[in-house]
Copies of this chain bind each other. A is one copy, B any other.
Amino acid sequence: MSATDDLLRNNTAYAEAFDKGDLPGPPAKGVAVVSCMDARVVPSRILGLEEGDAHIIKNAGGVVTDDVIRSLAVSQHLMGSREVIVIQHTDCGLVRLTDDAFAERMEEAAGQRPDWSLQAFTDLEQSVRDGVERIRTSPFLPNTESVRGFVYDVATGRLAEVG
């Protein structure tokens, strides 16, 4: 049995106990969270969120790419969210390789280079600052009064704000 089949059995149990079928689409807390896809970074638990509370956007690194801006534009323009929380984390895989080294690895494995880059970074706090700044200065995001950035420590479960 695949891991996917295993997880689908968990869904059967979730659906049997499900009692949240009337929730609206717009997030109840008016918050969008941008974070890393890392398996240890579970925003619903880290921030104590229930179903319906907040938009969660996750990609490799929690870096603010065009696709994150697109998602935040939907969140703010179509769903009325007003606050953004950016969370990157300690022990992230994106600090271990450069964009060039990853592109070379892709060329070896796939016979071609992707037209996107790894989005590697070396300074974790600076990467959070860059993400916050990119959100604050995007012409497509009207709600930038509360855009705050954090480092999540995977060893302690604690968020530390990046000033």
A residues at B contact (CB < 8 Å)? 2-4, 6-8, 10-15, 17-18, 20-23, 25-32, 37-40, 42, 44-49, 51-61, 65-71, 73-75, 77-79, 83, 85, 91, 93-94, 96-97, 102, 105-106, 109-112, 114-119, 139-140, 142, 146, 148, 154-159
Contact = CB atoms under 8 A, between A and B. Distances in A.
Given A31-B3, A146-B4, A114 B73 contact: yes
A11 B14 CA distance: 24
* Number of copies of this kind of chain in the complex: 2
Contacts of A71: 37, 59-60
A55 B38 contact: yes
A27 B40 CA distance: 8
A20 to B, nearest CB: 7
A80 to B, nearest CB: 11
